[in-house]
Structure 1
Amino acid sequence: MSAPGLPQLQRRRLLAGGGLLLAGLGGCSVTAINERVPADTHRFLGALDYGPHPRQKLDLYLPVGPVPAAGHPWLLFFYGGSWNRGERADYRFVGEAFASAGIACAVADYRLYPEVRYPDFLHDSARAYAWLRAEAGRGPLDRRRGFVAGHSAGAYNAAMLALDPRWLAAQDLHPRDLAGWAGLAGPYDFTPIRNREVQPVFHHPAVPPESQPLAHAADLRPPRPAFLAAPLSDWLVGTERNTGGLARALRAAGGSVTERIYDTATHITLAAALSRDLRWIAPVHADLLDFLRQTPPAGG
């Protein structure tokens, strides 16, 4: 799927903008994207502790206006950065993108290499989800309409929570407690690991086979509903092997998969296209909102 009839001028803008976004999303400063995020479209609750470690914090973006009787549907988002870098503050545009559309959104930090390696960041991810789900019982979130999602390395974190029951089990939860999950340009089948940044994260060369999301595609039958999006050509994560391969495996296990491939996005700009000013790149924001709104509640 791609943006129809994208003019050549816009394609050139996309390529030129990719360099800026790569610097912005890969850095630790507030990006130009975030500087344009409106403040009146959501309610912001910052630096909420989901654990005792300094990186076990999340920011919560809530819709404004009346709270539905059952609470707001909600999304826990994990950012990418090869499990080596990332800051939740750089993803204000993601929180606003969903909160302004009626979906509460949390953006979580998690521990990174070299402080930790696989699977510690998955324990953090599960802990963040469990904290939010517990809060849903006391606040404006619907316990049965919670999703996990992420971009790149963050999509891996989301996939592992949704597919491999070990991580949520440590929090006395199960993937069935998720309404569904979403991955943007995620690595789901990436051994042997060639990226030197990623190799030590997964104990290369002794990479555990069970560390790959694809290995867990049939652990739960049927798998939770999934939204998988990727650029047609990805310089970092092979789309056909990772997104295509996992989509096929989930369908073979009886899962419901919404798969979107965009020929107008890159690995970086796929995430940036969630922001208000860059949705011309690809309709990933609209497509993901459709998935979140149409997916039945957990247990429904």
Structure 2
Amino acid sequence: MVPKVVRTRYCTGKRLEAPVYRILILFFLLVTVSGCSGASILNALSRSPDEVERDIAYGPLARQRLDVYRPRDAGGNTPVLLFIHGGSWQHGSKEDYPFLGSALARIGIATVVADYRLHPEVIYPSFVEDVAAAIAYTKREIAGSRPLFLMGHSAGAHIAALAAGDPRFLEGVANICDLVAGFIGIAGPYDFKFTEDVYKRIFPEQIRETAKPVNHASGSFPPALLLHGTDDDTVPPLRSVQMQEALRTAGNMVDLKLYEGVNHLMIVGALAPILRSRAPTLEDIRGFVNSLSQGSSAACD
């Protein structure tokens, strides 16, 4: 396979029009004064699609649940995207992401947002096993013959990349190429040092190297879109550069896009209508999904 490698930088530092500037100021004032989370405000300001199914069980445990956001008048060829949230492997919930599910459903992508078990309840690799189960369930019960895309933000991108790259997690289910048409990683830590005590507890020393997605960048990894902000102080953009290089070396299709002036949270917050001018996250996801939805869902062979 001829690798497709594109590195694109977007500049989002252009001067804002006055109405947009006032909206952004109002948004941050609401977060500060109300004590609500940024996600709560984004969800309150986002419209929901016509059809949302909540708390569908993909496994027997309490955190093995997912929500489905369906586009209006979804047809038989509607692509499906499974989103894995971030939160340092310790926090986060699908309840924070109606704004994301709604945004993607409104551009014609049926979106599944899944929960998974977190530390301290579990350590690696249990949360990856949960996501692998969510992938298998989503393909079997929701996507069917339609193309399925796997997307994660931050720790969710790390977990999703492991589920896609390490064949042990879907062993006995199917080849990843038969399940996932493409991978979208947003600000993911694909290679990192385990310096903090909490991460040393989450990732046992004897298996830490297996927890780095860059070590699983084989030729069977799905076509990938990597998105990262240059102002990300939580996960350095270098992590996506390293993943791009690893996938390219393995002969994979990979596209890396760096957004100038965008930080760790804004890159996913820009999916909400009120913040959409801050980064082209939604348009890049749409372009990637549309480009791979025209052919077979087994796109990495």
Same fold per superposition (TM over 0.5) = yes
Task: From the superposition, tell whether residues 19 and 121 of structure 1 become closer, same or farther in structure 2 (CA, over 3 Å).
Answer: farther
2:263 to 266, 269, 273: 266
Tell me how far 1:169 sits from its aligned partner.
Answer: 1.3
Which of these residues, 262, 278, 282, is aligned with residue 281 of structure 1? 278
Match of 1:299 in 2: 298
Of 211, 217, 223 in structure 1, the residue corresponding to residue 221 of structure 2 is 223
Matches within 5 A, 1:5-44: 6-7=14-15, 17=28, 20=31, 24=37, 31-39=40-48, 41-44=49-52
Report the Cα offset of residue 235 of structure 1.
0.9
Report the counterpart of residue 46 of structure 1 in structure 2: 54
Q: Are the counterparts in 2 of residues 162 and 180 from structure 1 also a CA contact under 8 Å?
A: no
Paired amino acid for 1:43: E
- Can you list the C-alpha shifts for 1:207-239, whole angstroms capped at 9, x where unaligned? 521110000112xx2531001000113211121
* 1:83 aligned partner, one-letter code: W
Residue by residue, what CA displacement relative to the aligned partner does 1:246-266 show, whole Å, maximum 9, x if unpaired?
Answer: 101101111111111001310
Corresponding residue of 1:234: 232
Matched residue, 1:2: 10
Partner of 1:280: helix, strand, or coil? helix
Secondary structure, counterpart of 2:97 in structure 1 = helix
CA pair 23-209 structure 1, distance change in 2 beyond 3 A: farther
Match of 2:175 in 1: 174
For residue 24 of structure 1, what is the amino acid of its counterpart?
A: S
1:186 aligns with one of 185, 188, 204: 188
Distance across 2 between alignment mates of 1:5 and 1:57: 38
Residues 138-168 of structure 1 show CA distances to partners (whole Å, capped at 9, x for unaligned) of xxx3534101111000001111122111111
SS of the residue 1:292 aligns to: helix
Verify the 8 A CA contact 1:223 1:254 in the aligned structure 2.
no
User: Does the 8 A contact of 2:231 with 2:263 survive in 1?
Assistant: yes
1:287–1:19: structure 2 CA closer, same or farther, 3 Å change rule?
Answer: farther
- TM-score, normalising length from structure 1? 0.86
- Structure 2: which amino acid aligns with 1:56? Q
Match of 2:101 in 1: 95
Q: Could you report, residue by residue, the CA deviation over 1:15-43 in whole angstroms, capped at 9, with x for unpaired residues?
A: x9499499725xxxx6110011213x341
- CA separation in 2, counterparts of 1:118 and 1:110? 12
Letter in 2 for 1:110: Y
Greater shift, 160-169 or 51-60, is seen at: 160-169
> Which consecutive residues of structure 1, in runs of 5 or more, have no partner in the other structure?
none
Alignment coverage as a number of residue pairs: 282
Whether contact under 8 Å (1:78, 1:109) holds in the other structure is yes
Q: TM-score, normalised by structure 2?
A: 0.86
Query: Which residue is 1:158 aligned to?
Result: 160
Q: Which residue of 2 aligns with 1:117?
A: 123
- The residue type paired with residue 111 of structure 2 is C
**3-state SS of the aligned residue for 2:79?**
strand
CA distance in 1, matches of 2:44, 2:12: 29
Distance in 2, Cα, partners of 1:65 & 1:166 = 37
**Distance change in 2, residues 1:276/1:254 (3 Å):** same
Q: Is the 8 A contact 1:148 1:181 kept in 2?
A: yes
User: How far apart, CA to CA, are the structure 2 residues paired with 1:38 and 1:127?
Assistant: 30
State the AA in 2 paired with 1:65. Answer: D
1:250 aligns with 2:247: yes
CA spacing shift, 1:19–1:256, aligned 2, 3 Å: farther
In 1, Cα distance between equivalents of 2:36 and 2:86: 14
